Structures are given as C-alpha cells and as structure tokens.
Chains A and B, each alone.
Chain A
Amino acid sequence: MRRATFKGGIHPFDGKNLSKDKPMQVVLPKGDLVYPMAQHIGAPAKPVVAVGDQVLVGQVIGEASSFISANVCSSVSGKVKAIEKRLTVSGAMAECIVVENDNEYTTVEGFGTKRDYKKMTKEEIRQTVKDAGIVGMGGAGFPTNVKITPKNDNEIDFVIVNGAECEPYLTSDYRLMLEQSQKIIDGLKIVLSLFKNAKGYISIEDNKPEAIKALQELAAAEERIEVKVLKTKYPQGSERKIIYATCGRKINSKMLPSDAGCIVNNIATIIAIYNAVSESTPVIERVVTVTGDAVAEPGNFVVRTGTNYRELVDLAGGFVSEPEKIVCGGPMMGMALYTLDVPVTKTSSALLAMVKDPVAEAETSACIRCGRCVQACPSGLVPQKMMQAIKHNDLDMFEKIHGMECYECGSCTYVCPAKVQLTQAFKLARKTVMDNRRKAQNQ
C-alpha cells in the first residue's frame, strides 16, 4: 500500500522507545490544583466561582467568554483557595483558579451518566462538546465545538482523526490508540453523525503498526470509517499536512479545514468528545508522556488537569541527573520551561527532560545559502529569503514571500548546518506582523 505523505519535512531522532511500551497509569494529584483560564486559542474563560466556594468534580469554574473560547471544569472537589495570576507553561502570568483538593472526588450531578448519541440532536451534541470545554488536545487548543460547527454540515467530505503523533518522544496518543481504540471509533462515529456526507479517516504514521492494526480491526466493521497509513515524517501531524496526506486537499493559513471540506481532530480530542457525549464527562484529565534521558522511569500518565508539573517528575521516579533542559510538549514545537511550578493544562502532551541541551551549545555561523531549509520546509517556503528579509527589517518582503504561511514547525532550524535560529526569528516576525495588522485595524 502506498503510504500517504507530503513534500519536504524531516526525520528527527524519535526517542519514542523510552515510553512507547509503558501502559497508561491513572494517578491522582497530591497538591493544590491550578486552572489557568486560558488553556486554548481565543479569549480566556471568565471565572464563575469565588474564593471560598466549594466545587465538585466536573463543575464549570471558568465559562467561555466569547465565540472562540472554552469552559474550564474542575478536576477535583474542594475549596477555591485563590483566584490570582500564576505562571503558566508559556512563561507568561495568567489568571488562574486555585482549588484545594479535599480528596473526596465528589462529582456533580449526572457526571458519568451513559448517553446514546443517536437519540441526541446535532445541537445537543454540539452544546455538550461546548459545555465540556473540549479543545484541540494535540497542542494548539482550538475550541472543538467551533471546529465541528462549520457553515454548512453537508459540505464536509472528510472527518479526520489525527493519529500521526509525529513529534519525537511523544507516546500519549499512541497509548490511547492501543488502550482506548473503541472510544476513538465511537467518538468518530459521534462526529460523523453530524455530517451526513462525510467519510471518517483515522490517519496514523507507519511507525505505529500495533496501533494501525488495532484500529483497522475495529474499523473493518464500520462502513464510513477507514484507517489511513501515513509515511513517518515530521511534521506529518500538523493540520495542513495531515489533510493533504489523507485526502489530497491543501489549506493555507487563511483557511479553516472546513473550507476544504475537512474536520480534523486529534486522538485525545476525539476521545474527549466520546467522554463528553456518551459518558457525560468533561475534560478533567489527559494523558501526559513524561520522558527524556534525565527521567528515571519514563512513562505515560493519566493526570488531572491542574496538576503541578513537579508531581509528574515524581511519578516518573524523579531525575537521574540534573536536567539541562525541560520542555513542555515535543522537542520540535514544545516550550522550554524554566520552572516546574506550572500546571498541566488540556493541551499538555508531554514533559521532556534532557540531561544535555545541544541547542544551547550550538554556535551560529554564516549562512552559505545551501538550501537545505528550502528542501525541509513542508510549507514550500524559502526560509533563507525570509531570514534575509527579517535581517533587512523588511517585513513587507517577509509577507510577500509568504512568510505568514510558516507555522513554526522548526524543520528549517533543525536541518540548518550553520545553526541559524530561523524558526525563532520567524515566530517573532509573524507576531510583529500580526500586531501591526491589529494596530492598523484599531486606528
């Protein structure tokens, strides 16, 4: 069978062997739980509880404040200790609700009640997804109810479940595919029930044969669902690339997947949809891979949102030696942490601790225009020219040569023999361009 893929991309060291055979382990938090109000793209949620209030498992404590926003639910029962600015994974301070765990885990009424999605209307399903605070759990955190509410339901041709997990070291989606494969199928069926003309695809990279086999067996019984085997390549799991590899359609930065007739959801997200609709459970936990050569016993842990990162390290047996770099998420697009005192959010996929930080040692030399960045760019861009435009302070040129189409996957920086920090420069340039646009609009 021909393995679907795209042009460009790279093959970084994958490091998945550290944790890929470690079954998921359900763990409960020890310390206080911290819930940032901004765990998603869009407007932060608005706190609807006050200090001193008693909250229950599954209770909405932060309410979506606009169309693109998401609810935040408590993952434990206990007392609201504080509502204040706390440090989050991004390195910025953000408004957080702090809950003191009473270790009773008393749930809200109706929590965990089984439901049949076939008896629900489309509106009810969408409302349930919205209430449950589901966002893209692969990392971007786009509110899922917005994703599954396109302009016209009948124009959706493909519902894609993103099981690529192309980031090195990450194995949380892989474990979910093995251990909760039925939930993925059922979650996909729920989404498919919204779009009568759509075909369901579960797209998985070919370095996960067990996951492919497990889901293929289940999909065989389903008329509308098929498993698509993709070539292992980074960044296969990015939304634009997985759409192209799965159904041959291309979208750019100005389009949503629904503009190309596609709905894309991550593995963890599709399971969250199943949990919300069929089992009345909002997003209160997620699988986090704790790994890296500085970690004693790498593994995959099902933890409650709001759990402190420090507890994750304890779960994995602590550090074998002092890590030089700790990353939240994968090594390609994750964010480096300078403290472990940040909470797990809906989008935390991994904690990666490395003994050595090769990036810090790298010394930048002159660009000799070797063109490797051009070959590696999955978006068909010319990073060398974009960098030149930035160096000349020419952001118009940066935009003209499609700089805004960059989604910061890091492939160019990875292959650059001169160790030029391309992605970092593009990130800053894109932000500046967007800020300028906003300023121009407000004038």
Chain B
Amino acid sequence: MADVIIALIPASAWGVYTFGWSAFYTIMACILTSVGAEFLYQKLMKKKATPYDLSAFLTGLLLALNLPAGTPWWLPIIGSLFAIIVVKQVYGGLGQNFMNPALGARVFLLISFATQMSTFTLDGVTGATPLALLREGTTTDLKDMFFGNIGGTIGEVSTLMLLIGAAYLLIKKVISWRIPVMYLGSFAIFIVLFGGHGCDINYLAAQLCGGGLMLGAFFMATDYVTSPITPMGQIIFGVVLGILTGIFRVFGGSAEGVSYAIIFSNLLVPLIEKVTIPMAFGKGRVKDGK
C-alpha cells in the first residue's frame, strides 16, 4: 500500500499545482473521510481496527484523484463513505471486496451527481476535457496532454507524472506488466481498428493520454484485490479492459469509459480465475518436459 501511495505522489502533487488549493482540500477530505469511516465502522462492528494497513488511505487518495478539483465539499465525503462502507466493509473489508472501492464510489457519484462530477475548471475557466473535445472533432495539444496542462480530474491530467509513478511500481515489482501492458495494447489496437481515424498517431495518442486511462491502467486495474491472481487471468483481464474501454469510448454515450470498464471487468474476475487455473507442474507431457 505504501508503495502505491508513494507512486501516486507525483500525480497528486501535479494535481495540486495545476488546480490549486481546491484540489488539496478535495484530496484531504477524501483521505480523512475514508480512514475515519473505516475506523468507525470497524469499532462499531467490534472488528479489529486496521488504520495502519493504509488501504483506506489509498482508497481515499485514489477517489480524490478521480474527482474534479472544484467539487462541492460534500461530494468527496459522500463518495468516500460509499467507497469504504458500501463497496468495501459490507463485503468483509480488506481483500473481500469484488470491486475497486474508489471506482465504485466514482461511478456512484457520476450517476448521482452528474453535473458536479463533469464540471472541469482549469485556470478558473470551465471547459471540456480533451476526450470530450475529441468527440466533437477538435484535438488538444499533445504536449499539454502529456505534461498535464489540460482539464480533467485531479489525478488524471499528467501522463508524465503517472508514468513516473508506474515505473516506480514496476521496478519495485509491486505490480506486474501484464495488466497495464495488455490493457493499453489491446485498447490501442481497438482504437486503430474501430476508432474511425485509422492509424492517426495524434488521435491515438490523445486517446491513450486522456480520460484517466493511464491512471486506471497502472493504479486501478492492477488493484490486487479486484484483479485476477493467475498470470494468464491477468493477461485476459487486460485484454477485456482494453476492448471494453474502446467500446465505451467509441460507441458509448460518454466520452470516457475507463471507470466503467474496470468495474465491469472486476465482476468478471471470478470467472476469469476459474478458467485460468494453471496446469500444475508435471501434469502435462513427461519426456519433453512440456
């Protein structure tokens, strides 16, 4: 947990730098509510309180990074309560939830408070996100997208900062390459085939850098609890994510589909694991060692 939080520091810091104090307040509100809600729930249910495993802290941080900076103060609080109580603790707490709590809460907020959740301001100006612009046919400067000078949620805007964090996680072997690489790879192929722009590099890059794809691919799809444990399962999971995100973005009603894709794929994990239990050592052919 600590490593994932460390890996998210660059993206969080960039969010605060870009969007100002409102981003900082949102992050703090999410973290405090999450940790507090978990602690209270565990006390009330007479379970062992586990604030130091940092999982609630991480859920709060991830949720905050998925919210727009200038949200009303009650939005992060409602979201955090939903994430911790409904998505996580009711199912038995750490390790038992079938859906990523931060994403579950985000989608809950998206559906319930659509206006507040899709109002993005950058430098005091309310505007559309790059993906929304792409849908209308205009593109954003790629350099801005890569470095993070665009509108969006607190944590998704700087591809560079997210990649720095992702590199840290990969080097420390906290996450494996399987899910993110398969996710981004299959998504890219889907966009080339069905995106309607062919091999347009600019369009493809904008799709890859925008809409929280990097945040989702490296930090949320790789969530241990809600992703498959088998190596083959992780590959399949990544491909399913890529295809679903592609479908949601190209054919769906909203510009972005990462959250929906991950949550939907989370539901498939038990099935994926069931069909990808590896062959035990020595169960295959004998003499050639296959």
- Count of chain B residues with a beta carbon within 8 Å of a chain A beta carbon: 29
State whether A260 touches B287 (Cβ < 8 A).
Answer: yes
Q: Specify the chain B residue showing the minimal Cβ separation from A374.
A: B229
What 0/1 pattern do residues 381 to 420 of A give for CB contact below 8 A with B? 1101100000000000000011001000000000000000
Q: A248-B289, A260-B287, A382-B230 are in contact. Are A369 and B281 (CB under 8 A)?
A: no
Chain A proximity of B90: nearest CB distance (Å): 15
Interface: B36 (CB within 8 A): no
A-B interface contact total, Cβ < 8 Å: 86
Please indicate the chain B residues that have their CB under 8 angstroms from the CB of A366 in the complex.
50, 53, 93-96
State whether B287 touches A249 (Cβ < 8 A).
Answer: yes
Q: A251-B282, A255-B282, A379-B280 are in contact. Are A370 and B224 (CB under 8 A)?
A: yes
Chain A proximity of B49: nearest CB distance (Å): 12
Q: Specify the chain A residue showing the minimal Cβ separation from B289.
A: A248
State whether A261 touches B287 (Cβ < 8 A).
Answer: yes
Please indicate the chain A residues that have their CB under 8 angstroms from the CB of B225 in the complex.
368-369
Q: How long is the Cα–Cα vector from A378 to B285 in the complex, in angstroms?
A: 17
A-B contact list, 24 entries, CB within 8 Å: A248-B288, A249-B289, A250-B284, A250-B285, A250-B290, A251-B282, A252-B280, A255-B286, A261-B287, A366-B50, A366-B94, A366-B95, A369-B227, A371-B229, A378-B281, A380-B279, A380-B281, A381-B281, A384-B229, A385-B229, A385-B273, A402-B279, A402-B283, A405-B282
Interface: A105 (CB within 8 A): no
Interface: B198 (CB within 8 A): no
Please indicate the chain A residues that have their CB under 8 angstroms from the CB of B283 in the complex.
252, 402, 405
Interface: A293 (CB within 8 A): no
Interfacial residues of chain B within 50-70, with CB under 8 A of chain A in the complex: 50, 53, 55
Chain B proximity of A237: nearest CB distance (Å): 15
Chain B contact residues: helix, strand, loop or mixed: loop
Q: A365-B50, A365-B53, A366-B94 are in contact. Are A405 and B229 (CB under 8 A)?
A: no
Picked from A248, A365, A368, A401, the residue with its CB within 8 Å of the CB of B277 is A401
What 0/1 pattern do residues 215 to 250 of A give for CB contact below 8 A with B? 000000000000000000000000010001000111
Q: How long is the Cα–Cα vector from A254 to B286 in the complex, in angstroms?
A: 12
State whether A385 touches B277 (Cβ < 8 A).
Answer: yes
Interfacial residues of chain B within 258-286, with CB under 8 A of chain A in the complex: 273, 277-286
State whether A252 touches B282 (Cβ < 8 A).
Answer: yes
Interface: A51 (CB within 8 A): no
12 other contacts beyond A244-B281, A260-B286, A260-B287, with CB at 8 A cut-off?
A249-B289, A250-B284, A250-B289, A252-B280, A259-B286, A369-B95, A374-B229, A379-B282, A380-B280, A381-B280, A385-B273, A402-B277
Interface residues on A, range: 20 to 34
Q: How long is the Cα–Cα vector from A261 to B288 in the complex, in angstroms?
A: 12
Query: A-side interface residues toward B, CB under 8 Å?
Result: 6, 240, 244, 248-253, 255, 259-261, 365-371, 374, 378-382, 384-385, 401-402, 405
Q: How long is the Cα–Cα vector from A259 to B286 in the complex, in angstroms?
A: 9
Please indicate the chain B residues that have their CB under 8 angstroms from the CB of A405 in the complex.
280-283
Chain B proximity of A6: nearest CB distance (Å): 8
Chain A proximity of B175: nearest CB distance (Å): 10
Q: A366-B95, A368-B95 are in contact. Are A251 and B286 (CB under 8 A)?
A: yes
Please indicate the chain A residues that have their CB under 8 angstroms from the CB of B10 in the complex.
none
Q: Specify the chain A residue showing the minimal Cβ separation from B284.
A: A250
State whether A250 touches B286 (Cβ < 8 A).
Answer: yes
What 0/1 pattern do residues 187 to 201 of B give for CB contact below 8 A with A? 000000000000000
Please indicate the chain B residues that have their CB under 8 angstroms from the CB of A253 in the complex.
282
Please indicate the chain A residues that have their CB under 8 angstroms from the CB of B284 in the complex.
250
Interface: B231 (CB within 8 A): yes
Chain B proximity of A255: nearest CB distance (Å): 7
Most buried by A among B94, B230, B280, B283: B280
State whether B286 touches A240 (Cβ < 8 A).
Answer: no
Q: Specify the chain B residue showing the minimal Cβ separation from A381.
A: B280
Please indicate the chain A residues that have their CB under 8 angstroms from the CB of B50 in the complex.
365-366
Chain A proximity of B260: nearest CB distance (Å): 22
Please indicate the chain A residues that have their CB under 8 angstroms from the CB of B53 in the complex.
365-366
Please indicate the chain B residues that have their CB under 8 angstroms from the CB of A260 in the complex.
286-287
State whether A382 touches B278 (Cβ < 8 A).
Answer: yes
State whether A250 touches B277 (Cβ < 8 A).
Answer: no
State whether A368 touches B281 (Cβ < 8 A).
Answer: no
State whether A382 touches B277 (Cβ < 8 A).
Answer: yes
Please indicate the chain A residues that have their CB under 8 angstroms from the CB of B224 in the complex.
368-371
Picked from B94, B176, B231, the residue with its CB within 8 Å of the CB of A368 is B94
Q: Specify the chain A residue showing the minimal Cβ separation from B227.
A: A369
State whether A382 touches B229 (Cβ < 8 A).
Answer: yes
Q: How long is the Cα–Cα vector from A367 to B94 in the complex, in angstroms?
A: 8
State whether A374 touches B273 (Cβ < 8 A).
Answer: no
Please name the 10 residue pairs, one residue from A and one from B, whose CB atoms are nearest each other, closest first. Answer: A252-B282, A402-B280, A248-B289, A250-B282, A405-B280, A366-B95, A379-B281, A366-B94, A380-B281, A370-B224
Q: How long is the Cα–Cα vector from A443 to B102 in the complex, in angstroms?
A: 54
